[in-house]
Structure 1
Amino acid sequence: MTTFLLVIIYLAFISLGLPDSLLGVTWPVMQSDYGAPLETAGLLFMTIAGGTIISSLASGKILKRFGTGNVTFVSCLMTAGALLGFHFAPSVVWLIVCAIPLGLGAGSVDTGLNNYVATHYKAHHMSWLHCFWGVGATFGPIIMAQFISEQHSWRNGYLAISGIQFTLTVILLFTLPLWNRVKKSSDINLHEELGDSKGVFHHEDAKHVKPLQIKGVKLALISFLFYCGVESTVGLWGSSFLVNVKELPVAAAAQWVSLYYAGITIGRFITGFITFKMSNRTLIRMGQIIALTGATFLFLPLPSTFSLVGFIMIGLGLAPIFPCMLHETPARFGKKHSQTIMGYQMAVAYTGSTFMPPLLGFIASHSTIGIFPFCLVVFVAAMLLSSEKLNTLLTKKEVFKRKDTSSTAF
């Protein structure tokens, strides 16, 4: 039963990744059909991201009231309906209208499933979960490209992916009773996997403490902000840097950036096995150091080949960071607040991916895209520093709790 529900959650994450990369692939054709200006894609992207941020922030209360299974079902129904709306949309205005439920649905699913897996399953499942998101994000453009090349219809591509989402929605509807059963019968020993289920920063008057007032939460949010800033910045501007600074052909630059995404997806698959031997905290630190080394390769005046190595290293380094940070949430801050804090983390993560790449683009347009590797080094270093400061707080609190426990025993 637990395994079957896990399969459903994996499928849900594939479906979560499917629409994420569609707009960028489809927009050149959509722009021609609608006669819209180029920057309209940015408006649509911001609308989707805005809905995702809002639903992530509100997800704590919504999930506590309705449960993860119900929210996942309704959210998938919203995203399926939104994608169907893209198929029928007669104008750009209707695309913007459909972008709202697409973003709102994605945020709730992402937050709810991340917290559910962090609370009820072991760490390797979190890494594989986000690996499956990569599978969806990879196959979305492939499906769309097939429809555009064979039928010359991006609308049918959206219809097909909407059909996949509706299929998952039906599956979720019939498996709703499983969620509560698995929650009650979960055989995960949280004291082994998460430490004290109250969290490292729990104290007796926690009922009166707001999630953002818990020590260490703001440092965790900073880590998420810069992580997603790095991940999306490399994806958006990596090719431009290679073409304009390293003077690579456009096709070669695109292939090199695809290897960066392959590094993230394959790295997360491998990380799932490594979690059996290493803690989340160690994997996060190692990933950040590898990503910083890769960014440094881009920053230094080295031959172009080192840029390829740098992109792959950044991808492999980023691979364990996001899923491991998510899985650490209940251990750091306790199960009581983990759902709300997870929502805050996802909202800040989406904020980083939404605003940091355009910020770099704005600065680069007034200077040079050559600042790309410098910004990456700064972003990764900021993520590493905030993460290590949080680790220091965790270590001090753990030592204090052990001393307090030993003194109570006497």
Structure 2
Amino acid sequence: MASYSQTSIELQPVGASSQKNNDPAEFLPQPSTTVSVVEQWNYPRINIQRTFATFFGFVIMGANDAAYGALIPYIEEDYHLTYIVVSLVFLSPLVGYAGAAMLNSWIHVRFGQRGVAMIGPLCHLVAYLGIALHPPYPVLVVIFILAGFGNGLEDAAWNAWIGNMANSNEVLGCLHGFYGVGAVLSPLAATSLITKAGWPWHAFYYIMIGGATIELATTVSAFWDVTGSVYRESMPRTTAAKESRLKEALRCRVTWVASIFLLCYVGVEVALGGWIVTFMIRERAGQPFASGMVATGFWTGITMGRFILGFITPRLGEKLAVMVYIVCAMTCQLIFWLVPQFYVSAVAVSLQGFFLGPMFPAAVVAATKILPPYLHVSAIGFAAAFGGGGAAVLPFAIGALAQSQGVAILQPVILAILALLIVLWLCLPILNKAATSETGNESSKPEGQWFNVDIDLVNAGRRTIRKARGGG
């Protein structure tokens, strides 16, 4: 009998991927009896602390992105740089955003939201400490990579988390509204301190160091209990799989459409906010302080749009609402471009910010409606981080063009990308397809929605091609 009691049976892992991750919650399917509970911003109770921690994190992110525009004239003068060289401060965070896009899902699976809460703010803190030391310009460019990684990681994580909540349009509107709050305060503070108090441009980052310290403390304390195992158990897969969640998400059309849409959208947002001060000084003959206030007006418009239109978007439906917002933004852009008056331009760009504001939250909500929950962090995280790269690519491209064409090139480039946004938006799959299939009525719309305008340009094109081939 003793020999039987000593016999051991070893269970071999199923699939090659299990050898890399022995947690069954990651690669085994979700039990059919599982009932998912949709979280709210105030339920469970800890979510109140977590929600406000993410709000403050977005204040820091907004302050980080909007500071570039206010500081560029002074960085350019301090280091004696050309347009194209100073534009590297926009381009260098792209490396950080790309790293965040690829590592976001892995960090969630391994370390959970606790890992994001530690790594993101820590990247901000280290970057701001380095900038405040006034390093040589090549070192400054490298430091901005670290700030970009922190922004990309938090942008991806908190968008995916809140996008999966009840009333996600409204809560995401508030989340991105606080990004706008930071973006309003940052150029205002930087411009005032430099032009009125005589501070050197890099001294502004003393304030950012304090903000990043608070951000680190609040997010870590709020998400400390959300480890990797907790995350994997809360977001189990619905089907067995041998590949990572990110690879599965990258095979979905919506991931790439949302990524390219956000890349263009964020590019427009940051390019306008980043070059508006230089444009108003050199093309509208504005004074430095007044031109800095135009940037503040633009970010104020974005903030108000996110807080206010975030409650209108679910009523119109995401597809129709975003199309209306883009058309309104294009109208404001035409006025901004064609009426060469300082005050008209200031009002037009502020209104343009108002209509641009709710587009990012709407894109995140649209993606959550199409994708299965276990892919939300991977797909939306990738899209948000990839899209955040637009904050680097388009402002740099405009700077490169401005080197030969002048900063007035900003206007036609922005208008063209806004037109591209409409096409990309119409390439998203049908959002309410599940509800339509259940009712059998294509005109059915979600409760509380005023209209049901939902077009899938890709499927419409495929049907047209099939009909043409059949007719041939």
Match of 2:216 among 166, 169, 172: 169
Distance 1:259 1:206, change over 3 A: farther
Q: Which residue of 2 aligns with 1:134?
A: 180
| 1:125 and 2:153 aligned | no
Task: Report the 3-state secondary structure (helix = DSSP H, G, I; strand = E; otherwise coil) of the residue aligned with 2:65.
Answer: coil
Task: Report the 3-state secondary structure (helix = DSSP H, G, I; strand = E; otherwise coil) of the residue aligned with 2:311.
Answer: helix
Distance 1:334 1:139, change over 3 A: same
In the alignment, the residues of structure 2 paired with residue 151 and residue 366 of structure 1 have an alpha-carbon distance, to the nearest angstrom, of: 32
Residue 301 of structure 1: how far off its partner (Å): 6.7
In the alignment, the residues of structure 2 paired with residue 69 and residue 379 of structure 1 have an alpha-carbon distance, to the nearest angstrom, of: 37
| 1:335 and 2:373 aligned | yes
Q: Which residue of 2 aligns with 1:194?
A: none
Q: Which residue of 1 aligns with 2:13?
A: none
Distance 1:338 1:206, change over 3 A: farther
Q: Which residue of 2 aligns with 1:190?
A: none
Q: Deviations over 1:46-81 (max 9, x none)?
A: 222321232123212222221123212222122112
In the alignment, the residues of structure 2 paired with residue 301 and residue 27 of structure 1 have an alpha-carbon distance, to the nearest angstrom, of: 25
Q: Which residue of 2 aligns with 1:86?
A: 131
Task: Report the 3-state secondary structure (helix = DSSP H, G, I; strand = E; otherwise coil) of the residue aligned with 1:285.
Answer: helix
Q: Which residue of 2 aligns with 1:16?
A: 61
Match of 2:309 among 262, 265, 271: 271
In the alignment, the residues of structure 2 paired with residue 5 and residue 101 of structure 1 have an alpha-carbon distance, to the nearest angstrom, of: 24
In the alignment, the residues of structure 2 paired with residue 249 and residue 27 of structure 1 have an alpha-carbon distance, to the nearest angstrom, of: 16
| 1:286 and 2:331 aligned | no
Q: Deviations over 1:269-313 (max 9, x none)?
A: 112433564433343222112112222334557977764553233
| 1:232 and 2:232 aligned | no
In the alignment, the residues of structure 2 paired with residue 46 and residue 214 of structure 1 have an alpha-carbon distance, to the nearest angstrom, of: 28
After superposition, residues 59-98 of structure 1 pair within 5 angstroms as 59-88=104-133, 90-98=135-143
After alignment, is 361-370 or 128-137 more displaced? 361-370
Q: Which residue of 1 aligns with 2:462?
A: none
Q: Deviations over 1:27-56 (max 9, x none)?
A: 6656676x5645654334322232123212
Preserved CA contact (<8 Å) 1:227 1:383: yes
Q: Which runs of 4+ in 1 moved over 6 A?
A: 180-184, 204-209, 301-305
Residue 114 of structure 1: how far off its partner (Å): 0.9
In the alignment, the residues of structure 2 paired with residue 364 and residue 173 of structure 1 have an alpha-carbon distance, to the nearest angstrom, of: 42
Aligned residues: 388
Match of 2:154 among 105, 109, 129: 109
Preserved CA contact (<8 Å) 1:13 1:129: yes
Distance 1:303 1:107, change over 3 A: closer
**Amino acid across the alignment from 1:136:** G
Match of 2:286 among 243, 246, 249: 249
In the alignment, the residues of structure 2 paired with residue 222 and residue 153 of structure 1 have an alpha-carbon distance, to the nearest angstrom, of: 37
| 1:317 and 2:355 aligned | yes
Q: Which residue of 2 aligns with 1:191?
A: none
Q: Which structure shows the bigger proportion of residues in helix conformation? A: 1
In the alignment, the residues of structure 1 paired with residue 152 and residue 353 of structure 2 have an alpha-carbon distance, to the nearest angstrom, of: 24
Percent identical among aligned pairs is: 23
Preserved CA contact (<8 Å) 2:74 2:201: yes
TM-score normalised by L of structure 2: 0.69
In the alignment, the residues of structure 2 paired with residue 402 and residue 72 of structure 1 have an alpha-carbon distance, to the nearest angstrom, of: 42
In the alignment, the residues of structure 1 paired with residue 348 and residue 193 of structure 2 have an alpha-carbon distance, to the nearest angstrom, of: 34
Match of 1:295 among 322, 329, 333: 333
Match of 1:159 among 206, 216, 219: 206
TM-score normalised by L of structure 1: 0.79
Name structure 2 gaps, 5 residues minimum.
1-44, 442-472
In the alignment, the residues of structure 2 paired with residue 222 and residue 358 of structure 1 have an alpha-carbon distance, to the nearest angstrom, of: 17
Q: Which residue of 1 aligns with 2:90?
A: 45
Q: Which residue of 2 aligns with 1:344?
A: 382
In the alignment, the residues of structure 1 paired with residue 107 and residue 373 of structure 2 have an alpha-carbon distance, to the nearest angstrom, of: 16
Residue 323 of structure 1: how far off its partner (Å): 1.4
Preserved CA contact (<8 Å) 1:239 1:250: no
Q: Which residue of 2 aligns with 1:261?
A: 299
Name structure 1 gaps, 5 residues minimum.
187-196, 405-410
Q: Which residue of 2 aligns with 1:354?
A: 392
Task: Report the 3-state secondary structure (helix = DSSP H, G, I; strand = E; otherwise coil) of the residue aligned with 1:160.
Answer: helix
Q: Which residue of 1 aligns with 2:8?
A: none
Distance 1:384 1:206, change over 3 A: farther
Q: RMSD over aligned Cα, in angstroms?
A: 3.8
Structure of higher CA gyration radius? 2
Q: Which residue of 1 aligns with 2:447?
A: none
| 1:210 and 2:210 aligned | no
Residue 175 of structure 1: how far off its partner (Å): 2.7
Preserved CA contact (<8 Å) 2:75 2:86: no
In the alignment, the residues of structure 1 paired with residue 343 and residue 64 of structure 2 have an alpha-carbon distance, to the nearest angstrom, of: 33
**Amino acid across the alignment from 2:123:** M
Residue 383 of structure 1: how far off its partner (Å): 0.5
